[in-house]
Amino acid sequence: MASWALSRITNLQNHLNPTPKGENLIKISPEVSEALSLGKAVVALESTIISHGMPYPQNLETAKEVEEIVRQNGAVPATIAILDGVSCIGLSVEELERLAILGRKARKTARRDIAHVIATRGNGATTVSATMFFASMVGIPIFVTGGIGGVHRHGESTMDISSDLVELGRTPVAVVSAGVKSILDISRTLEYLETQGVCVTAYQTSEFPAFFTDKSGFKAPSRVDSPEECARLIDTSSNLKLGTGILIGVPIPSEHSASGKTIESAIQKALSEAREKNITGSAETPFLLARVNELTGGASLASNIALVKNNARVGAQIAVSLSQLREQSS
């Protein structure tokens, strides 16, 4: 039994008992709780992609498929969301379906929104920053998503910078993603991550991936070529107590990579429309992704689903390698 995992889960249970009024702040599914206590591989998954990423029932089907991919590769999936004011680490099939049906009625929840959603007993779909926070809280070292947020185009004037980047700078969770969404300013995003002290590495490539496409034109600061290398990187960062996250950029499989030129053309049109409609802040990215999907005839959504599944496969393999590494050293 991995003592570090058992200690973390025991400490969590001690501090999050029901309050005198019987209110719970957090609920860990039995499957996830057991896996953590035994030091088994666990992969955190966000829930915004379910509620805001695609329509029902496609969102439910995709969520189930992603969880199944994690299991097939030897890890336990822990989809994270807030339901009726309770932070849920690991969702049942019924809870997944409920969230999928809620769709955009569930509040898109970043770190700043967590306390308010819980205090008002609301329903929240966690973004990258909120999912990282909860994953770190219960001792899940790896989180899989599609793509992280970043510095928006013209961000040097608007200061529109995703909280994902700040979270990566202060929360020790490894994030497996297909890089940065190409609707963003990739160059400035990488610069900002450097300022935050975040280790950014690319998986089996030397170029930082750009979500819809496997090439961004920007060299990755470092490279890893196997789940074992990723595991050693994560474990080393943890042992050094750097206190920062790690961003592992996994390129979308080439057979699903959308035409960079086609996507870029759609992005420019969507950006122009967003400015005309004065769509900014947290509403901008969902609008842009939906509009780009319309303009590409569904090609971008198909690419999005393919890359999330690929990330789940890689993330689960990394989680298994990390669990084995820690078991050997314990």
Mean pLDDT value of segment 177-194: 92
Is the omega angle on the peptide bond into residue 57 within 30 degrees of 0, that is, cis? yes
Q: Which helix (H) or strand (E) holds 51?
A: helix 48-51
Inform me whether the pLDDT recorded for 230 exceeds 90: yes
Q: Residue-wise over 167-185: b if at least 16 C-beta within 10 A, else e? A: bbbbbbbbbbbbbbbbbbb
d(CA 283, CA 52): 10
* Contacts of 318 by beta carbon, 8 Å cutoff, 6+ apart: 142, 174, 176, 227, 230, 231, 234, 248
Q: Could you give the CA distance from residue 142 to residue 299 in angstroms, rounded to a whole number?
A: 29
- At 291, give phi and psi (nearest 5°): -70, -40
Burial class (CB in 10 A: 0-12, 13-18, 19+), 24: middle
In angstroms, how far is CA 169 from the centroid of its own chain?
A: 15
What three-state secondary structure class fits 222? coil
Residue 163 structure tokens: 């909280």
Task: Read off the tokens for 295.
Answer: 């303009």
Pick 300 or 94 by higher pLDDT. Answer: 94
Q: What is the pLDDT of residue 13?
A: 57
**The two three-digit tokens of residue 215, written as one number:** 């090439």
Q: Which of 103-107, 283-287, 321-325 has the lowest mean pLDDT?
A: 283-287
Phi then psi for residue 89, to 5 deg, are -105, 95
Domains of the chain (ranges; CATH) run 1-140 (3.40.1790.10), 142-329 (3.40.1790.10)
Q: What is the pLDDT of residues 37-46, one digit of tens each?
A: 999 999 999 9
Report the C-alpha gap between 246 and 233 in whole angstroms: 9
Q: Which positions are catalytic?
A: 46, 181
Lowest mean pLDDT among 12-16, 31-35, 105-109: 12-16
Handedness of CA 173, 176, 177, 178 (dihedral sign): positive
For residue 304, the Cα-to-chain-centroid distance in whole angstroms is 13
pLDDT score of 53: 82
Give me the mean pLDDT over the 316-320 stretch. Answer: 98
Q: What is the pLDDT of residue 1?
A: 44
User: Taking residues 116-142, what's their average pLDDT?
Assistant: 97
pLDDT exceeds cutoff 90 at 55? no
Enter the tokens of residue 32.
């996830």
Q: Is the pLDDT of residue 259 over 70?
A: no
Q: What number is the average pLDDT over the span 150-159?
A: 82
Q: Which comes out higher in pLDDT, residue 308 or 261?
A: 308
Distance CA 42, CA 140 (A): 6
Place of tokens 């890089």: 179
| pLDDT band of 18, cuts 50, 70, 90 | very low
What integer pLDDT is reported at residue 258 of this predicted model?
63
Beta bridge partner(s), residue 210: 179, 213
* pLDDT higher than threshold 50 for residue 19: no
Calculate what percentage of the chain has a pLDDT beyond 90: 69
**pLDDT value at residue 286:** 78
Looking up tokens 């078991």, which residue turns up? 327
Helices 299-329, 284-295: axis angle to 10 degrees equals 120
| Res 9 pLDDT > 70 | no
In 3D, which of 72, 49, 69 has the Cα closest to residue 59?
49
Q: Which of 5-9, 23-27, 61-65, 267-271 has the highest mean pLDDT?
A: 61-65
Element holding 89 (H helix, E strand): strand 86-89
Handedness of CA 125, 121, 98, 286 (dihedral sign): negative
Average pLDDT value over all residues in the chain:
90
CA-wise closest residue to 81 among 103, 54, 62:
103
